[in-house]
Amino acid sequence: MEEKRRKRAKRILRGEAALMLAVVINSFGVVLMLYSGSGISAISSVPFAFSEVLPALTLGTWTYIFQGLLILSLMLMRRRFVLDYLFSFVVGFVFGAMLDLHGLWVGMLPDDLARRVVYFIVSYLLISFGIALSNRCRLPIIPTDLFPREVSHITGVGSPKVKIAFDVGCLAVTAALTLAFLGYLDGLGLGTILAAFTMGKAVGLMGNWLDRHFHFIATMPAIKKHTLAG
């Protein structure tokens, strides 16, 4: 009874609207962080490295190739076919297209040092909020956000810890790729490192705030038995 009262006190937010917002702001945040000169976000660092090493394909294209591999890895971990994971890949495809779309106009923003610092802060907050939002939308989400959440559920390890480990792993792969094929580190900066080691906690804090103020509903159910911890 008490739980129902708490739910009534919260604002209702449609999961479909939450997911659409998360895709838009996360894709914008990734491109803005790269433009800030502080490095690309960890979740997009591996596709970025491949786009630099093999530039015939765009960042967006490499993004949904990478996301497809994440989906395959989750199915192998669960040892079964999960239909909702394919819906997640479709959302990831839209995310990749949005990356390329934002990349067409973000370069027109002023790029002095002070603004670049602001761009990094804004992008960090946008990505953190977008991940927390997508984790609660009750719908299949982009694979780079889905992967840490599902691994947390499968292994029982806390979501913030899994998120940090995933981000650091992405950075290690990016560093190895760019050093091996380009001869220097590319796409990795101080902001990338900072985000990788702290964003899991930021996502958790923003997720707690969302839990206190919003109750999410969706027409199409999310993958069953998820934990919605940030």
In this prediction, residue 221 carries a pLDDT of: 54
Q: Are 52 and 178 within 8 A, CB to CB?
A: yes
> What's the pLDDT tens digit per position in 52-77?
999 999 999 999 899 999 999 999 99
- As given in the structure block, the two tokens for residue 226 are 């998820």
- The dihedral built from the CA positions of residue 156, 130, 204 and 165, taken in this order, carries a sign that is positive
What spatial distance separates the first Cα and last Cα of the chain, rounded to whole Å?
25
Q: What is the pLDDT of residues 199-218, one digit of tens each?
A: 888 988 999 999 999 988 87
Give strand ranges (E) for 3-47.
11-14
* Percent residues over pLDDT 90 in the chain: 48
Bridge partners of 214? 11
**Which pTM value belongs to this model?**
0.78
Residue 180 pLDDT: 94
The answer, yes or no, to whether residue 224 has pLDDT greater than 60, is: no
Average the pLDDT over 36-47 and give the result. 87
Residue 116 tokens read as 């670049």
Residue among 44, 204, 43 nearest 136 (CA):
204
Which candidate, 227, 71, 78, places its Cα nearest to that of 156? 227
Could you report the per-residue pLDDT of 21-35, keeping only the tens digit for each? 999 999 999 999 989
**Strands of the chain, DSSP E:** 11-14, 214-217
Is the pLDDT confidence value at 7 over 80?
no
Instruction: Please write the tens of the pLDDT for every residue from 92-111.
Output: 889 989 999 999 999 999 98
pLDDT band at 230 (very low <50, low <70, confident <90, very high): very low
Contacts for 9 with CB less than 8 Å, ≥ 6 apart: none
Q: Residue 167 — very low, low, confident or very high, per pLDDT cuts 50/70/90?
A: confident
Query: Mean pLDDT throughout 210-227?
Result: 69
Count the neighbouring beta carbons within 10 Å of the beta carbon of residue 55: 10
Distance, CA of 160 to CA of 75 (rounded, Å): 22
> Which residues contact residue 56 at a Cβ distance below 8 angstroms, ignoring those fewer than 6 apart?
none
Whole-number Cα distances in Å, 76 to 20, 26, 70, 89, 164 = 28, 27, 10, 16, 22
Distance (Å, rounded) from C-alpha 35 to C-alpha 178? Answer: 18
Tell which residue, 40, 216, 72, has the closest CA to residue 134.
216
List, for residues 108-160, the tens digit of each pLDDT value.
Answer: 999 899 999 999 999 999 999 998 998 888 887 889 888 988 999 899 898 87
Interval 84-90 mean pLDDT: 87
